[in-house]
Amino acid sequence: MDISIDEFTRKIRSRGYKLTPQRRVILEILIKNKDNPLTPEGVYKQVKISCSEVGLTTVYRTLELLRKIGVVNHVHFHDGCDRYEINDGKPHHYLICLNCGKVERTNLCFIDKMQKILEKDTAFKITEHCLSFFGYCRFCQLRK
């Protein structure tokens, strides 16, 4: 369910944006890391490795653009920076250990149902949500 480059091109162009090499590289990095949400800095570092002259500013700008067109989701680990992950259509949420920082991902989700009810109830048109759980992982429950 990953976005294809063609689909990406279409989405970008149809809104008057240009498909630049920088945008393509950043998208590729996000796809490659579909299992862990990256910070802008994290994206930047990986972009640099796979070569390329891409500025950090452009990373920030591109991530926000991708979010706007629905290609990435924006998530929070409460660690002081934003994170982005490719939007694969499936809901998934995170379990973040307050002790060791370990992050687990889960696909269990009742949110869709909740969202439908909320929309009916409040007339709000929901396009994104952000859900994270904080607590203590298996390991940290024992020590400390």
Q: What residues make contact with DNA under the rule CB under 7 A?
A: 9, 12-13, 16-23, 39-41, 53-58, 60-62, 64, 80-82
Told to check if 131 binds a copy of itself by CB under 8 A, we report yes
Site string for a copy of itself, 31-60 (x = CB under 8 A): ------------------------------
- C-beta separation of 91 from 116 below 8 A: no
- Residue 82 lies near Mn ion (rule: CB under 5 A): yes
Question: CB under 5 A: which stretch of 21-29, 62-70, 72-80, 93-101 binds Zn ion?
Answer: 93-101
Among the listed residues 57, 99, 106, 132, the single contact to Zn ion using CB under 5 A: 99
Q: Which of 50, 88, 98, 100 binds a copy of itself (CB under 8 A)?
A: 98
Q: Can you tell me the distance from the alpha carbon of 97 to that of 125, in angstroms, rounded to the nearest whole number? A: 32
Closest CA to 87 of 103, 75, 105: 75
Rounded distance between C-alpha atoms, residue 103 and residue 79, angstroms: 12
Distances (CA, A) of 109 to 39, 80, 85, 92, 140: 24, 25, 17, 7, 24
